[in-house]
């Protein structure tokens, strides 16, 4: 566990007896070990930067972060959530990179009556039949980004598609999402082993994709699997035959490593998202510039969503009267989403998931010579996620 107490004033003042027991305590569950720790580090760095940007306080009280590592394991994530609730007595629980970990921790958190905010994972079940008035998403439901990417492929004239993803909740949601909007023929699907010992050899699947006659391949491989897949795609010489479209794979986390390794086939490949480092609004410009200045790298989409967490909570608590313990009032203001997000303003659906604007993205080389993502045209807008109709909460 890492514990951070950040106040607008000096650390000594924040630690003084006058502040004892008088903080806004936020529990953050992310991944700080395993090869997927690169995602968790981006999350933690972004949250800490956001705390600095809001002055370290919410409603005049210092923000206290209690950060726990889920190790990508559902049972461990559940245990860490229970610790945050029962031992640390946090006011709000947030984070969760992985859908299977979030689903495992869902019940103890929501049974506690606490506000629960996901900064990344958005499994279909919790957007639909398992929705809860105290659960909110900053990132969005899993299907939405691949739905946007399906529209990109339609505009590009893709006729035959082969899909690959890990065999767990998010992987299934991602493939389901792209199938909702892609107008061509799905000629093959592979769901590969995931978990503590994930499949990282994709040679058989890539051979099947080539033999299928597909003119494009859709993949979702986060974390270390991203590097493994893209290098093998490059080595197989598929870039001239089967165009690559990806979500959470060729992104701001993997691109520096791919550039260093000279995996040139990813340049020009396409993606989609509600956020991009080049979005032209004041909040995003400040976030990207200060993140790069502080940490020496461009932020990822994981970082963007995690950064939003702090101003989102701050606005909701302060707009509801300043008492973080008044869950009903805070919940009402979280629903309003009345704050300056890195993506600009957005609304929430009846299930408390964002209704966003999604952009086509392409991997480009920027003016500094870095490989990065550049936002293009809007391909999906004002579209609720496909599971909101199964949610019994009122809009």
Residue 392 has pLDDT above 60, yes or no: yes
pLDDT for position 224? 85
DSSP string, 152-219: HHHHHT--EEEEEEESSHHHHHHHHHHHHH--SEEEEEEEE--SSS-----HHHHHHHHHTT-SEEEE
pLDDT band at 64 (very low <50, low <70, confident <90, very high): very high
CATH class of the 2-140+279-355 domain in this structure: alpha beta
Nearest residue to 174 (alpha-carbon basis) of 247, 269, 229: 247
The answer, yes or no, to whether residue 231 has pLDDT greater than 50, is yes
Q: What is the pLDDT of residue 393?
A: 87
Domain boundaries, the chain: 2-140+279-355, 144-273+357-381
Q: Give pLDDT, residue 13.
A: 34
Query: Which residues lie closer than 8 Å to 183 by C-beta, 6 or more apart?
Result: 150, 154
Cα distance between residue 19 and residue 4, in whole Å: 14
Res 15: pLDDT: 35
CB 327 within 8 A of CB 316: no
- Region 291-309 average pLDDT: 97
Q: Which residues contact 203 (CB under 8 A, 6 or more apart)?
A: 232, 236
The rounded percent of the chain whose pLDDT value lies above 90 is: 91
Look at the block and give the residue holding tokens 């919790």: 126
Nearest CA to 340 among 282, 277, 279, 276? 282
pLDDT beyond 60 at 216: yes
- CA-atom Rg of the chain in angstroms: 20
Task: Calculate mean pLDDT across residues 229-249.
Answer: 94
pLDDT score at 394: 62
Q: Averaged over 233-255, what is the pLDDT?
A: 94
Instruction: Name the DSSP letter for residue 15.
Output: T
Residue 4: phi and psi, rounded to 5, are -130, 125
Cα 297 to Cα 45, 109, 302: the distances in Å are 11, 34, 14
Residue 249: pLDDT over 50: yes
> Which tokens is 36 given?
């997927």
> What string of H, E and C letters represents the secondary structure of 285-329?
HHHHHHHHHHHCCCCCHHHHHHHHHHHHHHHHHHHCCCCCCCHHH
Q: What angle do CA 388, 393, 394 make, to 5 degrees?
A: 100
Q: Is the pLDDT of residue 12 over 80?
A: no
Q: What's the mean pLDDT in 106-116?
A: 97
Contacts with 172 (C-beta within 8 Å, 6 or more apart), sequence order: 165, 191
CB 143 within 8 A of CB 385: yes
H/E stretch holding 134 reads: none
Confidence (pLDDT) at 395: 54
How would residue 21 be classed by pLDDT, with cut points 50, 70 and 90?
Answer: low
Query: What is the CATH number assigned to the segment(s) 144-273+357-381?
Result: 3.40.50.2300
Residues 151 and 272: their CA atoms lie apart, in Å, by 9
User: What per-residue confidence (pLDDT) applies to 240?
Assistant: 85
Average pLDDT of the residues in 161-175 = 95
Q: Are strands 135-137 and 61-69 parallel, antiparallel or unpaired?
A: unpaired
pTM of this prediction? 0.91
Q: How many CB atoms lie within 10 A of CB 285?
A: 14
What is the torsional sign of CA 336, 340, 345, 346? negative
Amino acid 343: pLDDT: 97
Q: How deeply is 331 buried, as exposed, middle or buried, from its count of CB atoms within 10 A (0-12, 13-18, 19+)?
A: middle
Mean pLDDT computed over 154-159: 97
Structural tokens at position 203: 């040679």
pLDDT of res. 195:
86
**Around Cβ 1, how many Cβ atoms within 10 Å?**
13
Judge if 2-140+279-355 and 144-273+357-381 fold alike in CATH terms.
yes
- Six-digit token string for 226: 């991203």
pLDDT at 146: 97
Q: Is the pLDDT score of 20 beyond 70?
A: no
Altogether, the residues listed in the chain come to a count of 395
């Amino acid at each position: 566990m890492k514990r951070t107490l950040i106040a607008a004033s000096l650390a000594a003042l924040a630690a003084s007896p006058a502040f004892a027991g008088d903080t806004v305590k936020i529990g953050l569950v992310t991944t700080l070990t395993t090869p997927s720790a690169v995602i968790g580090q981006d999350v933690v760095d972004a949250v800490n930067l956001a705390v600095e940007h809001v002055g370290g306080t919410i409603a005049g009280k210092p923000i206290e972060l209690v950060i726990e590592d889920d190790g990508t394991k559902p049972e461990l994530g559940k245990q860490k959530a229970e610790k945050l609730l029962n031992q640390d007595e946090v006011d709000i629980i947030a984070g969760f990179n992985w859908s299977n970990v979030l689903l495992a921790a869902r019940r103890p958190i929501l049974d506690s009556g606490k506000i629960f905010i996901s900064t990344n994972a958005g499994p279909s079940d919790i957007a639909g039949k398992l929705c809860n008035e105290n659960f909110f998403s900053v990132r969005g439901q899993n299907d939405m980004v691949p739905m946007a990417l399906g529209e990109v492929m339609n505009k590009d004239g893709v006729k035959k598609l082969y899909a690959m993803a890990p065999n767990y909740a998010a992987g299934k949601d991602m493939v389901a999402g792209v199938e909702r909007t892609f107008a061509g023929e799905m000629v093959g699907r592979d769901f590969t082993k995931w978990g503590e010992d994930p499949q990282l050899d994709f040679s058989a699947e890539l051979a099947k994709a080539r033999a299928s006659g597909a003119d494009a391949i859709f993949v979702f491989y986060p974390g270390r699997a991203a590097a493994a897949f893209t290098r093998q795609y490059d080595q197989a010489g598929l870039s001239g035959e089967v165009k690559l479209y990806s979500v959470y794979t060729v992104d701001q986390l993997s691109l520096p490593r791919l550039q260093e390794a000279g995996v040139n086939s990813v340049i020009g490949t396409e993606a989609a998202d509600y956020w991009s480092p080049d979005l032209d609004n004041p909040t995003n410009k400040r976030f990207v510039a200060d993140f790069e200045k502080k940490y020496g790298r461009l932020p990822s989409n994981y970082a963007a969503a995690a950064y939003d967490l702090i101003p989102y909570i701050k606005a909701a608590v302060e707009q509801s009267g300043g008492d973080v313990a008044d869950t009903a009032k805070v919940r009402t203001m979280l629903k309003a989403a009345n704050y300056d997000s890195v993506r600009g303003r957005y609304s929430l659906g009846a299930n408390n998931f964002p209704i966003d604007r999604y952009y086509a993205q392409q991997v480009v080389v920027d003016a500094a010579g870095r490989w990065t993502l550049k936002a293009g045209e809007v391909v999906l807008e004002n579209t609720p996620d496909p599971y909101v109709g199964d949610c019994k909460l009122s809009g």
